[in-house]
């Protein structure tokens, strides 16, 4: 039974990637996935050795062949994304790839080539295989690429007989996050004790409840505001999310990042490292992550 732990936060910059990397070191045998395809950073700590590189073909974009266009204006009238200029050129950034203009142009003067929207990779790292990706700049379909990364990570885990997938998730609650959490065994929600951290965690909890994925809450930089840390804990308990611990604010996070290593490799005796080890044990001990894969519906976020 393969279990997948997806690390999310709602708010960006709470420590998702640094903590995912540290978990990877503790997990021993796991497959890593970087589902933050928009601004992927996990590779900066993993120094992956890329073994397979594949183009990610996303949606199509319309292009008007000027020599066949009679400037009748039908496409401009149809386009709901205002992507066609007055002189009948498609603005690739605004084009949604719906193909309505392509199908309904009376002159059949619009092509619809499929776009390369990014790349994805299978790599080896010192902690096990890793699937990661790079979405092209200003591209769409990030949800599709996230789904692809997760699917490939699962295939790899099956192939290698690995029972744990660790996925570094994207911030926010939109399309890539929806693609990152559906069907996950559990979410590790990394929160910082700030009004923004709490607010954004509430929205992630709502999203997780919507998709019926259990949540485990870890408070990072917990000593920055102990009153807010308490409020987050109360909120988590109320929503039936399990508390898996606190990590104090520690500059070794930044130092480890600069060294390209995990907090545990860089400063194994630091307070942060000790706290991360404790959090990881709590995660493994939580009923949702049990190795038999028995679903416990009482753990669903309320």
Partner 1 sequence: MIISIASGKGGTGKTTVATNLALSLGEGARLLDCDVEEPNCHLFLHPQITASEIVTSFIPVIREESCTGCKKCAEICRFRALTVVRGKVLVFPELCHGCGGCLEVCPENAVVEGSREIGVMESGWCGPLGFVQGRLRVGEAMSPPLIRKVQANRNRAIKIIIDAPPGTSCPVVAAMKGSHFVLLVTEPTPFGLHDLGLAVEAVRVLGIPCGLVINRSDMGDDGVRQYALREKIPVLLEIPFERKIAEAYSRGIPIVEIMPEWAQRFRDLYDRIVVLAGNWGASQ
For binding to partner 1 (CB under 8 A), which residues are involved? 10-14, 17, 38-39, 41, 44, 59-60, 78, 80-81, 93, 96-100, 103-104, 135, 137-140, 142-143, 170-178, 192-197, 199-200, 203, 206-207, 210, 224-225, 228, 251, 254, 257-258, 260
CB nearer to partner 1: pick between 122 and 301: 301
- How near is the Cβ of 178 to partner 1 at its closest, in Å? 5
Burial of 243 (0-12, 13-18, 19+ CB in 10 A): middle
CA nearest to 146, candidates 103, 195, 182, 200: 182
CA 38/CA 24 separation, integer angstroms: 21
- How near is the Cβ of 131 to partner 1 at its closest, in Å? 18
- How near is the Cβ of 284 to partner 1 at its closest, in Å? 27
CB nearer to partner 1: pick between 33 and 118: 118
Q: Are strands 114-125 and 49-60 parallel, antiparallel or unpaired?
A: antiparallel
CA nearest to 84, candidates 99, 64, 112: 64
CA 216/CA 214 separation, integer angstroms: 7
- How near is the Cβ of 60 to partner 1 at its closest, in Å? 7
- How near is the Cβ of 175 to partner 1 at its closest, in Å? 4
CA 275/CA 25 separation, integer angstroms: 14
Residue 8 corresponds to which tokens in the numbers above?
């999310």
DSSP, collapsed to helix, strand or coil, labels residue 121 as strand
- How near is the Cβ of 26 to partner 1 at its closest, in Å? 21
Confirm if 40 and 134 have CB atoms less than 8 A apart.
Answer: yes
Confirm if 20 and 183 have CB atoms less than 8 A apart.
Answer: no
């Amino acid at each position: 039974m393969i279990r997948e732990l997806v690390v999310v936060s709602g708010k960006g910059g709470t420590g998702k990637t640094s903590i995912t990397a540290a978990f990877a070191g503790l997990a021993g045998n796991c497959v890593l996935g970087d589902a933050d395809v928009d601004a992927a950073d996990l590779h900066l700590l993993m120094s992956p050795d890329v073994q397979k590189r594949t183009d990610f073909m996303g949606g199509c974009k319309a292009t008007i062949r000027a020599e066949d266009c009679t400037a009748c204006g039908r496409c401009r009238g149809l386009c709901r994304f205002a992507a066609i200029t007055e002189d009948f050129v498609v603005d690739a950034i605004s084009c949604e790839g719906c193909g309505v203009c392509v199908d309904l142009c009376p002159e059949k003067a619009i092509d619809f080539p499929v776009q390369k929207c990014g790349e994805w990779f299978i790599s080896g790292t010192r902690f096990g295989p890793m699937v990661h990706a790079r979405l092209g700049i200003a591209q769409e379909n990030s949800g599709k690429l996230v789904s692809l990364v997760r699917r490939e990570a699962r295939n790899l885990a099956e192939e290698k007989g690995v029972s744990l997938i660790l996925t570094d998730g994207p911030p926010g609650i939109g399309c890539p996050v929806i693609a990152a959490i559906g069907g996950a065994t559990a979410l590790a929600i990394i929160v910082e004790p700030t009004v923004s951290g709490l607010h954004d965690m509430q929205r992630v909890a709502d999203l997780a409840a919507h998709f019926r994925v259990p949540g485990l809450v870890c408070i990072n930089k917990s000593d920055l505001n102990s009153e807010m840390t308490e409020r987050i804990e109360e909120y988590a308990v109320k929503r039936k999310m399990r508390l898996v611990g606190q990590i104090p604010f520690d500059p070794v996070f930044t130092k480890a990042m600069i060294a390209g290593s995990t907090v545990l490799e860089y400063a194994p005796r630091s307070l942060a490292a000790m706290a991360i080890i404790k959090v990881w044990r709590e995660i493994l001990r939580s009923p949702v992550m049990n190795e038999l894969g028995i679903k416990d519906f009482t753990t669903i976020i309320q």
